[in-house]
Amino acid sequence: MSKINLIEKFNLFSDKWSPKIIAQLNDYHFKLVRIQGDFTWHKHDNTDEVFIILDGQMRMDYEDEQIILNTGEMIVVPKGKNHKPFAEKEAKLLLIEPAGTLNTGDKKDSFTKEEIEWI
């Protein structure tokens, strides 16, 4: 039962598209991630996924639309919805998803992180 400083946690890493676990609530992980550029198209068949933009701007691409998200905004991607995050410049995000959720969902490629580091 101690506080978590998000700024201090972000200062511990600089790699992009590599989520870091900072807390667990029941069966859910809270993950920080830095993003920039394109990610891979993917979906999560068994869970929704939450993206909270802490700093910067990102775009969530769906097959039929694009949604721009700015600092202080969030989006819930429904389970089974094919999506692709993108950020022109670096953005810092908080992700909330069930423990064990693979970051690339139904795809395995160079972005896939089988083991997520706790920081």
Residue type, 11: N
Q: How does pLDDT run across 61-119, given as a tens digit for each residue?
A: 999 999 999 999 999 999 999 999 999 999 999 999 999 998 877 888 888 888 888 99
User: pTM, whole model, 2 decimals?
Assistant: 0.92
Q: What percent of the chain lies above the pLDDT cut of 90?
A: 83
Convert 72-93 to b/e letters by CB count within 10 Å (16 or more is b). eeeeebeeeeebbbbbeeebbb
- Contact call for residues 56 and 68 (beta carbons, < 8 A): no
* Predicted pLDDT of residue 103: 84
Q: Give the Å distances, CA to CA, from 104 to 4, 45, 90.
A: 26, 11, 19
Q: What's the chain's average pLDDT? A: 94
> Is the CATH code 1.10.3470.10 the one for domain 15-110?
no
- Nearest 5 degrees, angle CA 38-CA 72-CA 66? 40
Q: Copy the structure tokens of residue 95.
A: 């992700």
Q: How many CB atoms lie within 10 A of CB 69?
A: 20
